[in-house]
Chains A and B, each alone.
Chain A
Amino acid sequence: MVLHIKADAVSRLINSGQFLRLRQIAAAQTDPLPAELGLTIFRGEVAAGRLWEAARIWEVTTTETDGEALIKDAYGAFLDLLQLDDPVRAMARIARLEAGPDDAEFDWIAYRVRSASGGMGIVEMPPAEQLLDIAKALVVAGKAVFADDARAMWHDRMKDVDAWRRWIVLAEAAGDHHQIAARNMGLARLLYSERAEIAQVKEALTAAEISYDQISHGTGKIKVAEIRTEMAIQRDGESPDRLDPIIDAYLAAGCPRDALSALLTASSIAHERANLPLAKAYSDRLQALADACDMALVARQAAFRLADMALREGYYARARDLCDEALAEDMPTLAQAGLRALKATSLSSAGDNEGAAQELSRAVEMYVDKGFESSASDLISVWASAMVGADPSQASYDLASALMDDWAAKDVARGDHKAAATKHIERGAILLAQGILPRSRQPGALEAIMAAGEAALQQGEELLSQIKERDSFDLHANLAQIRSQLGMMRNDPDASVSALVHAQELYTKANMPFHAANSSFLIGCHFLNAANAPDGDKGRNFGKAENHLISAFNFYRDVGGMTMQAVNAAHKLAMLYLNMFPFVRDDIQGQCAAFAEELLDWAVAAIDDLRRAYSAPTRLASLEGKLTQTDLQAKLLTEAVRLHVGSVPNYSKAWQWMAASKARSLNDLVATDAFVSAELQTAIAEKPGVMRLIELERAQIEERLKSPVAARMAWEERISKTRQELRALYPPISDYLDAREGRVAPAAELEATFAGHEHAAFIDWTICGDRIFLSVARPGQAVTIERLPLTMSEVTRFLRFDYSASGRRTLLRDEWFLLSQLDHLVTPLSWLTQPGESLIFCPSGLLRTLPLHALEIDGAPVIARNPVSWSPSVSLLRHTRRHERTPASGRATVFGQAELDRADTRTFSLAVAESLGTTPYLRGEVRADRLKHALETSQIVHFNGHAVFNEREPLHSHLKLAAGGTFRARDAFDLRQVAARLVTLGACESAASRLMPGDEPFGMVAALLQAGVQSVIGALWKVQDRATGRIMAQFYRAITDPDHPLAPDVALQQAVNTLRQDPEFNAPYYWAGVILNGNPWTEFSTTLKE
């Protein structure tokens, strides 16, 4: 059916913005349309942003003459460009048509295709002057409307205000209100973009509005309102959501493209102002609308924004994945370069400067190839930063500085003084950054660095003087911020802080609240330091520090998406209150403590929320992101211990902090692995509702992993909902889910952990800054905490010098008297614990590498006095004890001497197997399937081979098997069930794990314990086989004694103490390397030797 209407009537509808009416007309066209009408409707639909409808109309448009066919084909090229976002195809089609009949309209469409393709970097931009010739030809051809469009485009490109005004006078003379309105709008946009006086812009808008009124042009009035609103937002600091009514009005008027444009503006402004939740909401709407309109280009911009926001929120892996996802699709060079630049920032934020530099180099190359020097220029500073970040050598700094200098000269040649000034200012910052490198300590080096930095800043400042100040508040502010750094380097704190205050004022003027907040934070830190100085004016400096830090904290917290910055500010504020504590009256002290506690509790909860969003650390970036968090968590822990141990003693709270900090990383380890233990599966097998929900959760996790990155948040919400239902339906599953979700409740866990073993104590060593605290926790008793008279620097010095890999054997075997300098680490145990009491050691960080049980109390090692086991955290200990409920079964399996092992280990493996009443798998028999089967069916699995610790990917740490096979830590989670109660890793340094401050280790031991093994014996160093063989033989005999089996911790203690009596093996090197991890009281069934 054809709704009878003439082409010129459709043109009038389009010109007056009646797109709703146009939509009805277009929708009614189902039969072939004559060329003039069809292409007019087509143009209207394109103007309305309804590309799918435009394409349909184009298809049903028929042509009779060669001229009509030519125009239709030209519009087809236009459609390629807009709908398919395929400028190459569009240009190819235009090129084919160039030889056809000469036609003004074709030239006009071809020009637009070339111009749009030029904008995408595919071809050179056609010269603006051609537009005037095209306009003249269009007038001659009787296509006045197109001629006006061509002239408008020319005016846009020329940016000549006087020319616009002359053109408006012509329209006024002709009494053409449509043109008067359109041209005044063009002038208003130009004046606004050129930052002209507000009154001039308003005048042009009013003139446009009057003319739109005259012709009842609905959309025109919305456009006027849009510019006015944008001015209010940009110049008066109003919220970007003022654009919401405009967006709604465009949608109501049937103009989705204009709505998209307004959404883009709102999203950009929210983004610039660091209002990430609002920016994200706009981006989501943008994406949905762009998808609905089939506007790939806009959709890509939305993807770009999502990635950028993920980056700003600290989700580096997600940002990188979003970029990769977008880059996987075909796209114009420009868009690709932009995404690469964003990906580079994600990589460098995650610490991969090398990867970042590579991406940036490619992006710059792409821009340069396409002649987009200004876009390339924008990336140079970031590239230079990544370059020196990846390789902080002198050569690298010289190269980076030369690169920026070179590009600044190009900027000046292009007339872009702002870009050149930016380069010199950032070059100054990069040069000054050398001040933190060791080489700056050489005589005269720092002075030279400061002089070079200052020279670069001065060059930047000179260029800035050639730019209007209101156009460069941001650069002046950056300059002031870097000058503040220079002030610090010159030991001139007053100059530094006044530069920061100046920077803050300028950022505020530039309407850059995020940067202003950063300046405020730095000023707060300056006064915090000043207050800490011995001769500082405490009252004055505390007050100033508090004001600035609170201002920054409030901004970061309230703006949303700035969690890490807010936590940083909260940490500094808590530190400030605790520093103030000794210097204020009693009543104020209470307030200080309360404020500090509130801030610390808020901050740690905020980080917990953030870390739950991270996947298990299967990728570098996610792990690096996590490391940033753990570093902050360590700082929070330090202040919390200061508060609860020092300022207002509350040992219970202090211990909660310590234990929770250790439990976190292990929870992260399994946070997203779809692993349900065999024990749990048995328990819930008879509860179909629970099983169904578990399966649903697993399916959701898999969907989450498979889904595009942008959709993962939605899946995470679904998973969270399913888990809530599970908790409600079957409360015992909560422990398992807590581990998945990274929740920790150490106090509640203590009671359950020690059930049936009351003569035991949990011993934590916690590192807070340079201090070390030892705490002793027992169920039902108050926690005791002692600060040790040994600092972490002293321990670290010992570790680096005496305990290095090269000297460790000598130390532990021939000079073990030197260990006595660490005895202070265990001294309090002599009065805080009873002889014979089962001690569970839970040391932090580097302390985990030390044989703490070999240190002496009253002249004898701890192991002589107490059975000792180790646990990465109280939560994990409890986790291992829960497995006791499953009846033990199966035999023992021994693996030994995979291909590369030394010949002597064969003897060792045979001896171990004999003590366990079994035959070992040797050489080629040591295969992954056998090891997995053993873990699923044997009570004891002894692996005597080599372990490789992967520091970057701890879950990829593995045991080396025959024929190049491996068993990775993460493979433990794929076991159908875990029957192994005890796994012995007789592999060198198998207990090695990644050491992180304030957090606990990932590695093979933790993975096995989390997967369901109750106890794991590992080695702290490459243990000596004869000595270890004797320990293990006695240990296995003791735990499998059919009449009087000993608990593993007691069995190991006895075996070690027996060996110590032998003069040949009395040095710790022989007996202290073997440690028991996890459940100290694991029991074995009598089936073991049957």
Chain B
Amino acid sequence: MSETLLLDAPLVPDPDEAFELSDTETTAFLTDDEVKDARFNVKVVSVERVADGLAVALKAGFDPMPRSRFTYARVSIRAIRPDDLEFVDFAPKEIRDSKAIKMTVTKALSLSAEGEGVKGEVALGDRTAEYAYYDCIARGMASSGSVRWTFEENEVIRNGIGTHQVMSFTVPMQTPFDISVQTTCNVIRPGIAGLGDKIRTLVFGHDASHGRARPATISPPEKVSRGWFRRL
């Protein structure tokens, strides 16, 4: 199944960060102008019918400005419509090591993300339709009609959170449903020899009324689909 773009939007500096009572001793801020090229997008990797529900795999795309990298990102997906929409399960829940991951879904719509033992077959950075590859620390959490993930760079390697991260969830229905997507990303532009680093927190929209959470609709495929998720 080919990936389809769900949303693509520029990221803007968090409007409150610069107005917090704190000192500037740690790291300087990137200016608004310096971060204007940062973008975030979400693609639909797969929507599959499973039992009475759907298994959805999305791919978050992080596109920082040149000479910079994202060190942290939080992506939240909130159920909007229908009113009783709930997430049954989600994956990944926590992945700390760089390895190829296979998402598995059961008939009860529960999801798991486990290493496939294919280290030799999937090189670092290689991504196939079947495998997700996390070279950062990925954690997920779901509650109160929301499912969210955080992606943090490895503090030792400091190579950012990567350009794409896969997030999957299941819902107990097979009709189109509405969600909203929100993100917060920490971006850094390294200085020289550890000096002169500049940081900024980026979000969608300057305030809540200017689209900090972006709406999106997920539609199931017309035919019974099989493929991206491994079934149990």
Interface residue? B43 (CB, 8 A): no
CB-defined contacts of A807 to chain B, threshold 8 Å: 74, 150, 184
A801 and B150 within 8 A (CB): yes
B74 and A806 within 8 A (CB): yes
A818 to B76, CA, bound (A): 11
Interface residue? A797 (CB, 8 A): yes
Binary contact readout A898-913 vs B (1 if CB under 8 angstroms, 0 otherwise) = 0011101100100000
Which of chain A's residues has its CB closest to B208's CB?
A814
CB-defined contacts of A340 to chain B, threshold 8 Å: none
Which of chain A's residues has its CB closest to B94's CB?
A801
A908 and B21 within 8 A (CB): yes
CB-defined contacts of B213 to chain A, threshold 8 Å: 814
Residues of A894-941 contacting chain B, CB below 8 A: 900-902, 904-905, 908
B22 and A946 within 8 A (CB): yes
Q: A817-B144, A820-B144, A821-B144 are in contact. Are A810 and B20 (CB under 8 A)?
A: no
CB-defined contacts of A908 to chain B, threshold 8 Å: 21
B186 and A814 within 8 A (CB): no
Q: A814-B182, A815-B76 are in contact. Are A821 and B21 (CB under 8 A)?
A: no
Interface residue? B24 (CB, 8 A): yes
Binary contact readout B203-232 vs A (1 if CB under 8 angstroms, 0 otherwise) = 100011000110000000000000000000
B139 and A988 within 8 A (CB): no
Interface residue? A1023 (CB, 8 A): yes
A124 to B182, CA, bound (A): 77
B20 and A806 within 8 A (CB): no
Give the segment of A375-383, A554-562, A824-832, A1024-1032 that binds chain B: A1024-1032
CB-defined contacts of A798 to chain B, threshold 8 Å: 143
Tell me, rounded to whole Å, the shortest Cβ–Cβ distance linking A63 to chain B: 74
Tell me, rounded to whole Å, the shortest Cβ–Cβ distance linking A909 to chain B: 10
What number of B residues sit within 8 Å (CB to CB) of A?
Answer: 32
A810 and B143 within 8 A (CB): no
CB-defined contacts of A1069 to chain B, threshold 8 Å: 16
A813 and B16 within 8 A (CB): yes
B20 and A1025 within 8 A (CB): yes
CB-defined contacts of B16 to chain A, threshold 8 Å: 809, 813, 1024, 1069
A801 and B20 within 8 A (CB): no
A445 to B184, CA, bound (A): 38
Binary contact readout A949-963 vs B (1 if CB under 8 angstroms, 0 otherwise) = 000000000001000
Report whether over half of chain B's contact residues are helix, strand or loop; otherwise say mixed. strand
Q: How large is the interface on A (under 10, 10 to 19, 20 to 34, 35 or more residues)?
A: 35 or more
Interface residue? A986 (CB, 8 A): yes
CB-defined contacts of A818 to chain B, threshold 8 Å: 143-144, 146
Interface residue? B23 (CB, 8 A): yes
CB-defined contacts of A810 to chain B, threshold 8 Å: 74, 76, 182, 184, 203
A900 and B24 within 8 A (CB): yes
Q: Of B23, B144, B150, B184, which contacts A902 at CB under 8 A? A: B23
B20 and A1022 within 8 A (CB): yes
CB-defined contacts of A946 to chain B, threshold 8 Å: 22-23, 25
Which of chain A's residues has its CB closest to B209's CB?
A1063
Q: Of A814, A821, A1025, which contacts B143 at CB under 8 A? A: A821
Residues of A1001-1037 contacting chain B, CB below 8 A: 1019, 1022-1026, 1028
Binary contact readout A869-893 vs B (1 if CB under 8 angstroms, 0 otherwise) = 0000000000000000000000000
Interface residue? A1056 (CB, 8 A): no
A986 and B144 within 8 A (CB): no
A904 to B15, CA, bound (A): 14
A1026 to B74, CA, bound (A): 26
Binary contact readout A567-582 vs B (1 if CB under 8 angstroms, 0 otherwise) = 0000000000000000
A809 and B24 within 8 A (CB): no
Interface residue? B72 (CB, 8 A): yes
Q: Which of B21, B24, B182, B212 has the most CB of A within 10 A?
A: B21
CB-defined contacts of B146 to chain A, threshold 8 Å: 815, 817-818
A900 to B184, CA, bound (A): 27
Interface residue? B18 (CB, 8 A): yes
A960 to B212, CA, bound (A): 35
Q: Which of A902, A908, A946, A1069 has the most CB of B within 10 A?
A: A902
Tell me, rounded to whole Å, the shortest Cβ–Cβ distance linking B212 to chain A: 6
Q: Of B21, B141, B184, which contacts A1022 at CB under 8 A? A: B21
B21 and A986 within 8 A (CB): yes
Interface residue? A1040 (CB, 8 A): no
Residues of A787-820 contacting chain B, CB below 8 A: 797-798, 801-802, 804, 806-807, 809-810, 813-815, 817-818, 820
Interface residue? B17 (CB, 8 A): yes
B19 and A900 within 8 A (CB): no
Q: Of A806, A809, A901, A1019, which contacts B150 at CB under 8 A? A: A806
Q: A801-B150, A818-B143, A1024-B16 are in contact. Are A900 and B72 (CB under 8 A)?
A: no
Interface residue? A944 (CB, 8 A): yes
A1019 and B212 within 8 A (CB): no
Interface residue? B14 (CB, 8 A): yes
Residues of B66-100 contacting chain A, CB below 8 A: 72, 74, 76, 78
Interface residue? A987 (CB, 8 A): yes
Q: A814-B208, A815-B146 are in contact. Are A1024 and B203 (CB under 8 A)?
A: no
Q: A801-B141, A814-B212, A1069-B16 are in contact. Are A806 and B72 (CB under 8 A)?
A: yes
CB-defined contacts of B72 to chain A, threshold 8 Å: 806
A35 to B148, CA, bound (A): 95
A814 to B17, CA, bound (A): 14
CB-defined contacts of A944 to chain B, threshold 8 Å: 21
Task: Return 30 A-B CB contacts under 8 Å, by A number.
Answer: A797-B141, A798-B143, A802-B141, A804-B150, A806-B72, A806-B186, A809-B184, A810-B74, A810-B76, A810-B182, A810-B184, A813-B16, A814-B212, A815-B76, A815-B182, A817-B144, A820-B144, A821-B144, A900-B24, A901-B24, A904-B18, A986-B21, A988-B22, A988-B23, A1022-B20, A1022-B21, A1023-B20, A1024-B16, A1028-B21, A1064-B207
A801-B148, A807-B150, A820-B144 given; name 4 further pairs at CB < 8 Å: A802-B141, A809-B16, A1025-B20, A1064-B207
* 8 nearest CB pairs, A to B: A1022-B20, A946-B23, A900-B23, A988-B22, A810-B184, A801-B141, A1022-B22, A806-B72
Measured CB to CB, the residues of B under 8 A from A are 14, 16-25, 72, 74, 76, 78, 139, 141, 143-144, 146, 148, 150, 152, 182, 184, 186, 201, 203, 207-208, 212-213
